[in-house]
Amino acid sequence: MTTPIKKPEILAPAGDYEKLRYAIAYGADAVYLAGRLFGMRAAAGNFDDAQLREAIAYAHARNVKCYITVNIMPSNRDLEALPAYLELLQDAGADALILADVGVLAMARRYAPRVPVHISTQTSILNYEAANFWADLGAERIVLARELSLEEITEIRAKTPKDLEIEAFVHGAMCISYSGRCLISQYLTDRDANHGACSQPCRWQYSLVEEKRPGEYFPVEEDTRGTYLYNSKDLCMIEHIPELVRAGIDSFKIEGRAKTAYYAAGITSAYRRAVDAYAAQPDGFVLPDEIRQEISKVSHRNYYTGFYFGERNGQFYEDSHYIRDWEVTGLMQDCTQAGDAVFTLKNRFFVGETLELIQPGEPPYRFTVNAMTDDKGTAIDVAQHPEMRFHLQLPFAAKPFSILRRETLPRD
């Protein structure tokens, strides 16, 4: 008889309102986002005060939790605006504050005492004593450092209070520094990574210049493969849901607030469906191949499993480019029960091309475009004007938030 498992939370990134809506539509149990200040992703669209209230209300109406990042490493000048902001988040109904600084924690206790506290990965929690320290200070959840193995996480779970939740990253970009605590960006570009403005200089190509030979650049290379010494691969644990669950991780966190709504939808959907499939049949679980393929259909770097299994081959030396084998062609605006679907164009395509339609909770539907029309009902051979509306006839009523995509590279 199959033993029921406790489903881990799927925690998705919401860099702006569009990404929040797509992440929720594609199965997130919770989303994490930031205001215009105090969050560690300044490059994301983020939310002003009114939008924060609207976003939290939108999530709650769909039984989704909303966690707000307040996890910069603040200087004195940052503190003046914090009391009013913390009061706003409590009044708006935030489900948790993600904090990294003990001063901010103290202020949260004064100005938002009813909001649970989650301790950010920025604190680099690497052991059970650190976890217990934060628990003693009232944290309800810790977000573990990315540098831990599954064995170490299992021990932390065994030696911490059972009501202390454990959150860990399972997918997305990795950082060359301990969980983001890095000064290189500030030094080279005056963009402070610890205030959310990292310029990612670890992804750049470097050369040496000898003092008496200006203009003569010598490549920095470990071997003949290339010179991108600090360029990390992307984390992907979609193949290892059972191991993550057995380690005692309560929340599976997906990195990517600065990425696209399509990324939020595709990756959230893949982990949602993988966790649901495992929960339904944990004994002898095999990840469906279609879910495995899904994580390669969004923009990504080469994947690996991070530090979970002690792997040391986490760097990619040849370049820092993304792999983009698929692109979004349209976002659905409406669809009738008869299957007349209206889309907004994102990338050009032609009649005769093969597309995939992805929908919340469904496997991709692959089809050839035999005909399409513009908004006036005129038949067209190509959809090419940015943001134009076009119509396709589908054999079913597609769900809200459906997305059209096309493969940009030929199959082998």
pLDDT digits (tens, 9 = 90+) for 382-409: 999 999 999 999 999 999 999 999 999 6
Q: Residue 204: its pLDDT value, please? A: 73
> Helix or strand or coil: residue 364?
coil
Show pLDDT as tens, one digit a residue, over the chain (412 residues).
Answer: 556 788 999 999 999 999 999 999 999 999 999 998 886 555 557 899 999 999 999 999 999 999 999 988 888 998 999 999 999 999 999 999 999 999 999 999 999 999 999 999 989 999 999 999 999 999 999 999 998 999 999 999 999 999 999 999 999 988 766 555 666 666 577 776 666 667 777 767 777 777 777 877 766 665 555 556 667 788 999 999 999 999 999 999 999 998 999 999 999 999 999 999 999 999 989 999 999 999 999 988 888 998 999 866 766 656 667 788 999 999 999 999 999 999 999 999 999 999 999 999 999 999 999 999 999 999 999 999 999 999 999 999 999 999 999 999 654 4
Tell me the two tokens of residue 245.
């669950």
Task: Give the DSSP H/E element, type plus range, for residue 23.
Answer: helix 17-25
Q: Residue 42: its pLDDT value, please? A: 57
Amino acid in position 207:
S
- Cα–Cα distance measured from residue 105 to residue 109, given in angstroms and rounded to the nearest whole number: 6
- Cα–Cα distance measured from residue 43 to residue 263, given in angstroms and rounded to the nearest whole number: 16
Q: Which residues of 145-181 are buried (b: 16+ CB within 10 A; e: fewer)?
A: bbbbebebbbbbbeebeeebbbbbbbbbbbbbbebbb
Q: Residue 411: its pLDDT value, please? A: 46
- Cα–Cα distance measured from residue 140 to residue 96, given in angstroms and rounded to the nearest whole number: 9
- pLDDT tens per residue across span 7-41: 999 999 999 999 999 999 999 999 999 998 886 55
Whole-angstrom distance between the N-terminal and C-terminal Cα of the chain? Answer: 42
Locate tokens 């490549």: which residue? 219
Question: Cβ(55)–Cβ(62) under 8 Å?
Answer: no
> CB count, 10 Å around CB of 361?
12
Question: Cβ(327)–Cβ(334) under 8 Å?
Answer: no
Task: Give the DSSP H/E element, type plus range, for residue 268.
Answer: helix 261-280
